[in-house]
Amino acid sequence: MIEINGIYKRFGKLKVLEDLDLELKSPGVFAIIGPNASGKTTLIKAILGIVIPDAGEIKINQRSVLNEFKYRNQLTYLPQIANFPPNLTVGELISLVKELRQEVSYEDKLISIFNINEHINKKIGNLSGGTIQKVNLILTFMFDSDLIILDEPTNGLDPISMIHLEKIISEEKKKGKTILITTHVMRIVERFSDEIIFLLEGKVFFKGKLSALRKKTDEKDLEFAIAKLMDKRVCLKS
């Protein structure tokens, strides 16, 4: 499905991705985790084509996606920061994204799930942060795409929306989608992820199942296991 070969990215002097290889063959939920500035968001953005790698290759379904744009029809993206044009209404924003993609969409179902029917004709600038985050989720999940990329999806959600989000993720997972999630919420990682991709200093430091991670680190608790993964690096280096 996704094949990444030796991508490099630096911003000025800062090396963010360094010879990163990653291959996701079968569908499932992949949690991308790692400390701050380990390159999680840059990796996601490189797959989306928002950041252009300095070198290397990214293929989705055996086709190179660098400098392409049509492939984005097969994927949908939830940005970390939901900041939309303040003078458009929610309905207009949804129409805009629909017009850009021109494919079947299922926004009505999501609008009722997240209970934002009453806000549909309101300007986005007049909505609360939580409601805007719900709109963000609707924009992401209203299309039936094979690849779903979620950048910190739990940011600013109230508990009820969180439950809905988890329900949606598990439904999409059942449908056989490939879902990439970056998150700091370990509960999400534990509950959904088939595999963990642990990034460190711009490389994939660990990739494998949760059980493998636990075995490798000899820790049952995921948070401790990850902490140990980072610690091991310290041991290796010193």
Residues within the interface to other proteins (CB under 8 A) = 9, 11, 45, 48-52, 69-73, 75, 77, 79, 81-88, 92-93, 96-97, 99-101, 123, 139, 149
Of 69 and 220, nearer to other proteins (C-beta) is 69
Of 34 and 53, nearer to other proteins (C-beta) is 53
Q: Which two three-digit tokens encode residue 145?
A: 């795409």
CB 68 to other proteins: min, Å: 9
CB 56 to other proteins: min, Å: 14
Which residues, 6+ apart, have CB-to-CB distance to 94 below 8 Å?
A: 107, 135, 138, 139, 142
Of 99 and 218, nearer to other proteins (C-beta) is 99
Of 150 and 169, nearer to other proteins (C-beta) is 150
Rounded to whole angstroms, how far apart are CA atoms 17 and 26? 24
CB 86 to other proteins: min, Å: 7
CB 94 to other proteins: min, Å: 11
Decide: 151 and 77 in contact? Cβ < 8 Å: yes
218: left (phi over 0), alpha (psi -120 to 50) or beta: left
Decide: 188 and 29 in contact? Cβ < 8 Å: no
